Amino acid sequence: MKTKEIYQGSSFSINFKSISIVIYSGILLFSCSQSTLEKIEIKIADEIFIVEVASEPEDQKTGLMFREKLGQREGMLFVYDYDKPLKFWNKNVNFDLSIAFLTKTGMIVEIKDMYKGDPSSVYSKYSVRYALEVNKGVFEELDVGANDYIIFPESFK
């Protein structure tokens, strides 16, 4: 009887360890996996960028937080149903960003910089439809500013 009890206890212990390893591996894999957000190509100046589209509130809340890096010609486009003043921060973001606030036609109305891990809020001066985050300095590098346009794909609304 004691042998059976020891065996059952050992079996439970092994299964518990196996389950713990599987759960931990799943969490690790999930946290390192690529985003599942829709990606589109946009044009800034004459350069093509691949941007993730954050149109759901939960995706907008998370944004680029906890990412290790952002590619040179990558970004995140925040899409809203109507024009409104927007507020962003760079808390839990591991790199500096530039954010462009855009009208529904894609015209840039202003650009602001945000710094790694800074919890300070950045506000749009005007009501806008979109916000585009890219690596800090990209807009300057491409000589893009207020009154310039971001070109969206024809199928994008």
Tell me the whole-structure pTM to 2 decimals.
0.77
Per-residue pLDDT of the chain (157 residues; tens, 9 = 90+): 554 444 445 444 444 444 444 444 444 334 444 568 999 999 999 999 999 999 999 999 999 999 999 999 999 999 999 999 999 999 999 999 999 999 999 999 999 999 998 999 999 999 999 999 999 999 999 999 999 999 999 988 6
How far is residue 54 CA from its own chain's centroid? 7
